[in-house]
C-alpha cells in the first residue's frame, strides 16, 4: 500500500531545493589570456629572405594557422615509417599508462558526480527475540503469557540521504575532477605526440647512419683505388714511396669510421625496438632510407595565441590550473555548515504477510547541519594552502607557455638554417667533386703529384658525409616542428 509523505514533510524538501541552487563559494576559473601579438616567430630578416641557395629544394613555411593532417608523419610519405609509428602507438607502455591514467581520472569524475546525487539504501531483516517480563515488574508473567514470550520480528525499509550542497563543496569537487580528466586527456595527447616524434626521430637517425655508412664504403673504395694508383706509380718510378704511405694511412684512418657508425646504428635500432614495445632481440626495424623520407612542401607556423589552443602540454597545464582553482573552492566550502536531508521508511511486523499493511509503516525525515566551531585553524590553513597551490599551477602554466614559444621559435630558425647548411654542403660537395676530377686528370697527365689527389679526395669525402648529416638534420628539425606546434594530435576522446 502506497503512503504519501504528509505535507508537513515537504518543508525539508523545499529547503533542500532552495539550498542546492546557491552559488558555490571560492574563485571561478577563467582561462589565462593568450599573448596578444599577431606576429609569428620568423624574424624580419627571414621574412624578407630570398630563397635558399641553389642546390636544394626549399621548404616553404606555411601561413599561420594552416591546418596540418592529424597523422603528421604521413606528410613524409613512407610506408615503413607509418607502419612503425602505428605499431608503437598500439604497443608502447607509456601510451598504455597514459590511457590508464585517463581512465582513472574519468572514474574519479564519476565518483564526484555521484556525490552530488541522493544516496538510496534498502534494508531488510529478521530477528528472533525473547522478552524478559520480570524486568518490567511482571514476575509472574502476563495473562496469556505465563512464560517469557519468544517471537520473530520482520522488517523491510529504505532510506534516502541527500547532501544539500549549499556552498558548493560537491560542485567544486566535481569541477576539479572534470578539469583533471581534461588534464589527463591532454597528457595522453602529449604522450601520443611525443612518441610519434621519438619514433620518427629514430627512423631518420637510422636512415642518416645508413647513408653515412654507404658514403664511408664509397670513401674506402676511393681510398683503395688511390692506394693502387700510388703503388703503380711507385713501381713505375713516377712517385715517391711517401705517396703510397700517405694513401695507405688515409685508408686506415677512414676505416676507423666504420665501427662507431655501426655502434650508433645498433643503438638506434634498439631504441626503436623499445619504442614499439619490443625487446631489441625480438624485433628488427625496417631499413629506413633518406631518399624514402622526402620533406613535405610546407611546414607549420603558429601564432602564439593559436599555439596556446593546440599544444597538449599547454592545454594540460591550463586544465591543472582549473583543477587547482576548484580545489580552492572545495577548501573554502569546508568553512561553512554542511547540510544534509535524510528520509526513511520502515515496515515491521511479526508475520511476513503483514509487512505491506498500513499499520506496519513507519517513516521519518530530518534536516541536519554540521558547522565547524573550532578546528585549531586547520580549515583556514587548508584554504591558504589550496590558494598557494593555485599560484604554483599558474606559474607552471606560464612557464609551459613560454617554454613552448621558445621551442617553436628555435625550431623555426633551425629549419631555416638547416636549409642554408644543406645548400652549402651540397655546393661544397659539387666543388670538391670537380676539384678531385681535375686533380686526377692533372695527375694522369703528369702535371701534378698524387698528394693533391689525396687531399681532394679527403675534401670530397667530408663533403659527402656533411650532406648526409645536413639532410638528416633538416628532417629531424622539420619533424620536431610538427611535434612542437602540437599538430597531429590523437582523437580527443
DSSP class of 143: T
Is residue 41 predicted with pLDDT exceeding 70? no
| Alpha carbon distance 133, 145 (integer Å) | 9
- Average pLDDT over every residue of 208-212: 93
Is residue 87 predicted with pLDDT exceeding 50? yes
Between 143 and 480, the higher pLDDT residue: 480
Is residue 410 predicted with pLDDT exceeding 80? yes
Q: Report pLDDT for 397.
A: 94
Q: What is the CATH number of domain 34-117+167-337+380-484?
A: 1.20.1600.10
Q: Which of 452, 439, 464, 473 is nearest to 254 (CA)?
A: 464
Give the best-scoring range by mean pLDDT among 66-75, 235-244, 380-389, 412-421. Answer: 380-389
Give the best-scoring range by mean pLDDT among 44-53, 172-181, 408-417. Answer: 172-181
* Residue 101 cell numbers, joined: 591514467
| Alpha carbon distance 479, 476 (integer Å) | 5
User: Cβ atoms within 10 A of the Cβ of 56, count?
Assistant: 23
Residues 356, 1 contacting (CB under 8 angstroms): yes
Cα-Cα-Cα-Cα dihedral sign, residues 66, 71, 76, 77? negative
- Average pLDDT over every residue of 244-263: 87
Q: Report pLDDT for 375.
A: 87
Q: Report pLDDT for 408.
A: 85
Count the alpha carbons within 13 Å of 208 in the hemisphere toward its beta carbon. Answer: 20
Backbone angles phi, psi at 369, to 5 degrees: -140, 135
Q: Which of 268, 256, 388 is nearest to 328 (CA)?
A: 388
What pLDDT band is residue 488 in, cutting at 50, 70 and 90?
low
User: Cβ atoms within 10 A of the Cβ of 248, count?
Assistant: 16
What pLDDT band is residue 369 in, cutting at 50, 70 and 90?
confident
User: Cβ atoms within 10 A of the Cβ of 178, count?
Assistant: 20
Residues 383, 332 contacting (CB under 8 angstroms): yes
Helix axes 79-91 and 169-235, enclosed angle (nearest 10): 140
What is the distance, to the nearest Å, from the Cα of residue 476 to the centroid of all Cα atoms in its chain?
20
CA gyration radius, the chain: 39
Write b or e for each residue in 368-404: b if 16 or more Cβ atoms lie within 10 A of its Cβ, otherwise e.
eeeeeeeeeeeeeebbeebbebbeebbeebeebbeeb
* Residue 87 cell numbers, joined: 605499431
Helix, strand, coil shares of the chain, percent, nearest 5, are 60, 10, 30
Is residue 10 predicted with pLDDT exceeding 50? no
- Extents of the domains making up the chain: 34-117+167-337+380-484
Q: Which of 406, 394, 405 is nearest to 318 (CA)?
A: 394
Amino acid at each position: 500500500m502506497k503512503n504519501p509523505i504528509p505535507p508537513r514533510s515537504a518543508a525539508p524538501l523545499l529547503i533542500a531545493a532552495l539550498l542546492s541552487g546557491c552559488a558555490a563559494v571560492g574563485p571561478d576559473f577563467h582561462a589565462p589570456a593568450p599573448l596578444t601579438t599577431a606576429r609569428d616567430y620568423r624574424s624580419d630578416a627571414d621574412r624578407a629572405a630570398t630563397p635558399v641557395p641553389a642546390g636544394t629544394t626549399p621548404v616553404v613555411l606555411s601561413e599561420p594557422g594552416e591546418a596540418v593532417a592529424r597523422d603528421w608523419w604521413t606528410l613524409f610519405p613512407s610506408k615503413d615509417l607509418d607502419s612503425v609509428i602505428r605499431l608503437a602507438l598500439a604497443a608502447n607502455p607509456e601510451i598504455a599508462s597514459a590511457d590508464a591514467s585517463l581512465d582513472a581520472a574519468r572514474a574519479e569524475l564519476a565518483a564526484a558526480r555521484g556525490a552530488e546525487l541522493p544516496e538510496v539504501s534498502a534494508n531488510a531483516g529478521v530477528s528472533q527475540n525473547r522478552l524478559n517480563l520480570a524486568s518490567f515488574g511482571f514476575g509472574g508473567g502476563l495473562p496469556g503469557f505465563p512464560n517469557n514470550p519468544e517471537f520473530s520480528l520482520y522488517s523491510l525499509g529504505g532510506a534516502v540521504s541527500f547532501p544539500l550542497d549549499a556552498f558548493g563543496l560537491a560542485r567544486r569537487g566535481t569541477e576539479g575532477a572534470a578539469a583533471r580528466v581534461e588534464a589527463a586527456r591532454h597528457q595522453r595527447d602529449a604522450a601520443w605526440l611525443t612518441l610519434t616524434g621519438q619514433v620518427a626521430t629514430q627512423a631518420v637517425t637510422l636512415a642518416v647512419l645508413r647513408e653515412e655508412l654507404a658514403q664511408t664504403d664509397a670513401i674506402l673504395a676511393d681510398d683503395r683505388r688511390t692506394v693502387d694508383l700510388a703503388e703503380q706509380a711507385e713501381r713505375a718510378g713516377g712517385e715517391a714511396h711517401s705517396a703510397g704511405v700517405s694513401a695507405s694511412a688515409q685508408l686506415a684512418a677512414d676505416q676507423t669510421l666504420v665501427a662507431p657508425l655501426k655502434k650508433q646504428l645498433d643503438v638506434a635500432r634498439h631504441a626503436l625496438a623499445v619504442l614499439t614495445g619490443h625487446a631489441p632481440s625480438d624485433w628488427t626495424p625496417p631499413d629506413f632510407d633518406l631518399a624514402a623520407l622526402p620533406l613535405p612542401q610546407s611546414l607549420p607556423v603558429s601564432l602564439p595565441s593559436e599555439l596556446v589552443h593546440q599544444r597538449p602540454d599547454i592545454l594540460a597545464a591550463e586544465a591543472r590550473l582549473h583543477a587547482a582553482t576548484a580545489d580552492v573552492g572545495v577548501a573554502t566550502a569546508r568553512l561553512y555548515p554542511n547540510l544534509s536531508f535524510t528520509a526513511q521508511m520502515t515496515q515491521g511486523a511479526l508475520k511476513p504477510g503483514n509487512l505491506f499493511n498500513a499499520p506496519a509503516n513507519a517513516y521519518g525525515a530530518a534536516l541536519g547541519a554540521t558547522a565547524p566551531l573550532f578546528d585549531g585553524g586547520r580549515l583556514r590553513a587548508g584554504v591558504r594552502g589550496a590558494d598557494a597551490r593555485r599560484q604554483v599551477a599558474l606559474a607552471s602554466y606560464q612557464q609551459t607557455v613560454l617554454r613552448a614559444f621558445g621551442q617553436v621559435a628555435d625550431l623555426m630558425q633551425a629549419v631555416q638554417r638547416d636549409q642554408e647548411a644543406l645548400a652549402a654542403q651540397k655546393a661544397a660537395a659539387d666543388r670538391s667533386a670537380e676539384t678531385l676530377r681535375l686533380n686526377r686528370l692533372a695527375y694522369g697527365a703528369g702535371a701534378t703529384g698524387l698528394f693533391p689527389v689525396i687531399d681532394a679526395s679527403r675534401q670530397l669525402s667530408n663533403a659527402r658525409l656533411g650532406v648526409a648529416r645536413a639532410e638528416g638534420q633538416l628532417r629531424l628539425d622539420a619533424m620536431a616542428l610538427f611535434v612542437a606546434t602540437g599538430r597531429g594530435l590523437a582523437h580527443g576522446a
